[in-house]
Amino acid sequence: MKLLLKSVKVVDPNSPHHGKQVDILVQNGTIAKIGKSIKEEGIRKLEWKGAHVSPGWLDLNVNFCDPGHEPKEDLKSGADAAAAGGFTAVALMPNTQPPLHSKSEIEYIRNKAQAYLVDVWPLGTISRDKEGKDLSEMYDMKSSGAVAFTDGTQAVQDAGLMSRALLYAKGIGSLVMNTGDDRSISQKGKMNEGEMSTLLGVKGIPALAEELMIARDIYLAEYNDARIHFSNISSARSVDLIRAAKRKGLKITCDVSVNNLYFDESALHDFDSNFKLRPPLRTSQDIKSLKNGLKDGTIDAICSQHTPEDKEHKEVEFEIAAYGSIGLQTAFALACMSLQKSMEIESIISCLSQKPRAILGLEPVSIREGAKANLTVFDPEKEWSLAASDILSKSKNTPLIGARLNGKALAVINNDQYKLTS
Amino acid sequence: MQKLSVRHLLGIKGLTENDIQLIFETADNFKSVINRPIKKVPSLRDITVANLFFENSTRTKLSFELAEKRLSADIINFAASSSSVSKGETLIDTVNNILAMKVDMVVMRHPYPGAAVFLSKHIQAQIINAGDGAHEHPTQALLDAYSIREKLGDVRGKKVVIVGDILHSRVALSNILCLQLLGAEVMVCGPTTLIPKYIHTLGVKVEHDLQKALNWCDVANMLRIQLERQDIRYFPSLREYSMMYGLNKEILDSLDKKIVVMHPGPINRGVEITSDVADSRQSIILDQVENGVAIRMAVLYLLAGGQN
């Protein structure tokens, strides 16, 4: 593959070209040349108005339902959706059937996704069968390509197991992730406990359920001197807890879903199950704190929490509808729309690219001559809207069909392949 | 003919004060009808109503059925336990199957909050929510407010306390919204574990001492303790609940004014209220039942007449 990106603005503080408008020649999967005006005939030239380029983006929290629920999504359709959203890499949650809990499943993912443009990094489970009882074979999975460990949507309830998981993962040089959800508090709640749940008569999930577990895990991480990553935090107090722990020097990182940055609980006023998410949408106060957390570096990464669900699980009564919405293709737009007023574009991009890569211990990507071409081209201002026919996921569970969006990926380049996103 | 501002009755949310007044005025007419020797009017002739009860109900179902019959509607009844439905056919499929038989209106009771709202987005027929989980039970709230209006002349300015399990109650939510819309002041009273943490956002007063609540109010609406709705224990025993929140004659007589006592039924005698209170002259429990038919006739009639 040989390709010339014309007149793109580099967004990469680690690059000597940061902030400059340049041409980039990509050849055989590497950045062959970067210059003011590269003249090259007979090759594919890509040129847009207002195009920026950054190291390829990585989404720390996606579900591809493969193996187990392939009619909702499979690795290929999921990877296509990721590419269309500007992501050149994803970390795959083990919410599959069977869960990604042994070498076989990890190898299946790695082998099947080997030739994709998008790097698919599997996250193995902490516990066997995601049951929260016994540790799964983390070392074996790590050796097969698992980049970190989490029980996905099943937050680890047992403090003893969590403590052992942190310690064991530390021993094999890996990372444990958890999501804050103390089920003895959240019980049968279906949405944020607050004004809206009171008005709808729906059982609430108190933010306390998240905060208690995060507080517990901070203690456990400190006790074991281990790293921990919190997936999709959603409440103001969680931000405070993590900020304080980071100040203390603990090895803690966390991410937030764009859903929790952009929407609040009022979106649920007419029981639209596309807004039934876990963690639930919270309040405008929580959103404010999450934004501050991103701004001051408390929150490290932004993810889509892409969760495909078919009609049969979404077009049902709110109470029994499945959690989640797809989000890979709209994540960048929601990030731009919620953050552009408060953050520089390079800080937003860092939460989509460099920081999540560092969390998983992946090789850094940089825009310089001779480096691997792992790039996302985007326009943070571009206005667009998502048509149902544009959705590359097999599932269409998003509240954003037809909505006006700002900010769009234009192209992705990785593994000696490229893809235009529109 | 005056019309409602809504196409369905999904909840008190969405209604205007004018809608409620119109329902009350229409119910006034029907109340005189059902007290005549010939209790039936032809208003809903040629209209088919399906009563879909996905959750057990006796009195609400009877009340709707009677209201429909008094209006000369054709009726079909469907009852299913939610568990058998959730295992098999979806709600949309169930209802569309029934609608395929040319049904004009649907009256639905469902265990899940939002079920009626959900259905209204997917089917053509007009829907009356006969109770959806802990969300709303609009006709109950309307008949409660109507009964207060009947007894005290007006709802505006009255102080109403709702006592009991507010957390699991659709009656409480609809009552709060309806009474506030009509200008009443509302207080909720019950054990701390059965009062939603954010109930104050609805603009109600919260009191945990029954005596104080009763001293404050003009009307006490004593909700039924619905143990079947509680997935975990929120209070130690019915005995203890009754000790703290049961209304007996002694308390009633100790108050310095004659308050009105209401109960949406069915009564757990000796738990929420003692028999001598339930059967006292201050109780309007049976008036509520009678007014329920008139209110439901009014709602059916007005919705059948179309939207403004």
**B305 part of contact set with chain A, CB < 8 Å:** no
**C-alpha torsion B109→B114→B116→B117, nearest 10:** 170
3-state secondary structure chain B: CCCECCCCECCCCCCCHHHHHHHHHHHHHHHHHHCCCCCCCCCCCCCEEEEEECCCCCHHHHHHHHHHHHCCCEEEEEECCHHHHHHCCCHHHHHHHHHCCCCCEEEEEECCCCHHHHHHCCCCCEEEEEEECCCCCHHHHHHHHHHHHHHHCCCCCCEEEEECCCCCCHHHHHHHHHHHHCCCEEEEECCHHHCCCCHHHHCCEEECCHHHHHHHCCEEEECCCCHHHCCCCCCCCHHHHHHHHCECHHHHHHCCCCCEEECCCCCCECCCECHHHHCCCCECHHHHHHHHHHHHHHHHHHHHCCEC
Instruction: Annotate A113-139 with DSSP letters as a single string.
Output: TTT-SSEEEEEEPSBGGG-SSSB--HH
* A206 to B113: CB separation less than 8 angstroms, yes or no: no
Q: Which residue of A has its CA nearest to B86?
A: A320
Find the mean pLDDT for residues B122-146: 96
What does the pLDDT read at residue B247?
A: 97
- The class (CATH top level) of A56-357 is alpha beta
Model confidence at B178: pLDDT above 80: yes
Q: How many CB pairs under 8 A join A and B?
A: 74
Model pLDDT, residue A379: 98
pLDDT at A35: 96
- Please check whether residues B41 and B115 belong to one and the same domain: yes
Non-local (6+) Cβ contacts of B187 within 8 A are B159, B160, B161, B162, B204, B205, B206, B207, B213, B216, B217
Give the pLDDT score at B307. Answer: 62
Confirm or reject contact between B87 and chain A (CB < 8 A). Answer: no
**pLDDT digits 0-9 by tens, A33-91:** 999 999 988 999 999 999 999 999 999 999 999 999 999 999 999 999 999 999 999 99
pLDDT, mean over chain A: 97
The count of structural domains within chain B is 2
CA distance to partner chain B, nearest, from residue A399 (Å)? 15
- How far apart CA B185 and CA B161 sit, in angstroms, is 8
Burial class (CB in 10 A: 0-12, 13-18, 19+), A310: middle
Using a CB-CB distance cutoff of 8 angstroms, which residues of chain B are in contact with residue A187? 231-232
CATH number of the domain enclosing B207 = 3.40.50.1370
Nearest to A198 among B114, B132, B202 (CB): B202
pLDDT of residue A104: 98
Residue spans per domain, chain A:
2-52+369-420, 56-357
A319: nearest CA partner in chain B: B112
Closest CA to B54 of B80, B30, B29: B80
DSSP state of A368: S
pLDDT of residue B308: 56
With 80 as the cut, is the pLDDT of residue A311 above it? yes
Cβ-contact B119, A318 below 8 angstroms: no
Same structural domain, B278 and B294: no
Block residue for tokens 């109503």:
B49
Same domain, B216 and B103: no
Per-residue pLDDT band for B230 (boundaries 50, 70, 90) equals low
Expressed as residue numbers, the domain containing B203 is 138-284
**Do residues A191 and A207 lie in contact, with contact meaning Cβ atoms separated by under 8 Å?**
no
> Which residues are within 8 A (CB) of A189 and not within 5 positions of it... i.e. 6 or more apart?
A197, A202, A203, A204, A205, A206, A209, A280
Specify whether B152 is located in the same domain as B92. Answer: no
Torsion over CA of A132, A136, A138 and A143, rounded to 10 degrees?
-140
- Which residues, 6+ apart, have CB-to-CB distance to A397 below 8 Å? A274, A307, A308, A309, A310, A314, A324, A325, A326
Closest C-alpha to B19, from B187, B161, B138? B138
Amino acid found at A247: R
Q: How confident is the model at residue A297 (pLDDT cuts 50, 70, 90)?
A: very high
Q: For A47-137, where are the alpha helices, taking DSSP H only?
A: 75-84, 103-112
Q: What are phi and psi of A29, to 5 degrees?
A: 80, 0
Residue A419 phi, psi (nearest 5): -145, 130
Q: Which residues contact B280 (CB under 8 A, 6 or more apart)?
A: B249, B252, B261
Chain A residues with CB under 8 Å of B135 CB are 200-202
Per CATH, domain A2-52+369-420 is 2.30.29.30: no
Question: Is B6 inside a domain boundary?
Answer: no
Residue B119: pLDDT above 90?
yes
Is the confidence at residue B84, as pLDDT, over 60?
no
- H or E stretch covering A414: strand A404-414
pLDDT digits (tens, 9 = 90+) for B93-112: 888 888 888 899 999 999 99
Asked if residue B69 belongs to a domain, the reply is yes
Torsion, CA B44, CA B50, CA B52, CA B56, rounded to 10: 60
The band of B229, judged by pLDDT with boundaries at 50, 70 and 90, is: low
Distance from CA of residue A81 to its chain's centroid?
Answer: 13
Q: Would you say residue B2 lies in a domain?
A: no
User: Please, what is the Cα angle at A286 between A281 and A291, to 5 degrees?
Assistant: 105
- The CB density around residue B208, as the number of other CB atoms within 10 Å, is 15
pLDDT tens by residue, A337-380:
999 999 999 999 999 999 999 999 999 999 999 999 999 999 99
Contact indicator for A359, A229 with CB cutoff of 8 Å: yes
Contact A271 B136 (CB under 8 A): no
Q: Which of A202, A312, A317 sits opposite B91 (nearest CB)?
A: A317
- Counting Cα atoms < 13 Å in the Cβ hemisphere of B65 gives 13
State the residue for tokens 């499979």: A74
Full-model pTM = 0.95
Q: Are residues B130 and B183 part of one domain?
A: no
Identify whether residues B294 and B264 lie together within a single domain. Answer: no
| DSSP-H helix ranges across A172-316 | 183-186, 195-200, 207-224, 236-247, 258-262, 284-295, 311-314
Burial tier of A403 (Cβ tally within 10 Å: 0-12, 13-18, 19+): middle
Confidence grade of residue B226 (pLDDT, cut at 50, 70, 90): confident
Buried-state track A104-132, b at ≥16 Cβ within 10 A, e below 16:
ebbebbbebbeebbbbbbbbbbbbeebeb
Residue B86 pLDDT level (bands cut at 50, 70, 90): low
Please tell me whether residues B156 and B182 are part of one structural domain: yes
One domain, residues B239 and B202: yes
**DSSP reduced 3-state for A418:** strand
Nearest Cα residue in chain B from A268: B114
pLDDT digits (tens, 9 = 90+) for A210-250: 999 999 999 999 999 999 999 999 999 999 999 999 999 99
With tokens 């993912």, the residue in question is A109
- pLDDT above 90 coverage of chain A, percent: 99
Q: Closest-CA residue in chain A for B132? A: A201
Please identify which residue in the block is written with the tokens 């990785």.
Answer: A414
Q: Choose the mutation target among B90, B129, B226 for the interface with A, i.e. most A CBs under 10 Å.
A: B90
Residues B188 and B278 occupy one common structural domain: yes
CB burial readout B62-74, b (16+ within 10 A) else e: ebbbbbbbbbebe
Is B117 a domain residue? yes
- Candidates A266, A317, A318, A319: best to mutate against B (most CBs of B within 10 A) is A317
Does B108 contact A at CB distance below 8 Å? no
**Does A198 contact B232 at a Cβ distance shorter than 8 Å?**
no
Name which of B263, B234, B228 is nearest B246 in CA terms. Answer: B263
Residues B180 and B64 in one domain: no
pLDDT at residue number B305: 87
Q: Does A247 touch chain B (CB under 8 A)?
A: no
Query: What does the pLDDT read at residue B246?
Result: 96
> Does residue B248 sit in the same domain as residue B267?
yes
CB burial of residue B308 (10 Å; 0-12, 13-18, 19+): middle
Interval B229-253 mean pLDDT = 89
Closest to A176 in 3D by CA, of A422, A372, A359: A359
Within-domain flag for B221? yes
Q: Is residue B49 part of a domain?
A: yes
Percentage with pLDDT > 70 across chain A: 100
User: What ipTM does this complex have?
Assistant: 0.93
pLDDT of B62 above 70: yes
Same-domain status, B171 and B280: yes
Pairing of strands A404-414, A375-385: antiparallel
Query: How would residue A313 be classed by pLDDT, with cut points 50, 70 and 90?
Result: very high
- Cβ proximity of B29 and B85 under 8 Å: no
Q: What sign has the CA pseudo-torsion B164, B167, B169, B175?
A: positive
d(CA B111, CA A395): 28
Indicate whether B308 belongs to any domain: no
Please give the C-alpha separations between residue A206 and each of A181, A289, A382, B254, in angstroms, as whole numbers: 10, 17, 37, 40
A194: nearest CB among B113, B134, B198: B198
What's the half-sphere exposure (Cβ side, CA atoms, 13 Å) at A131? 7
Q: Strands A191-192 and A119-124: what pairing?
A: unpaired
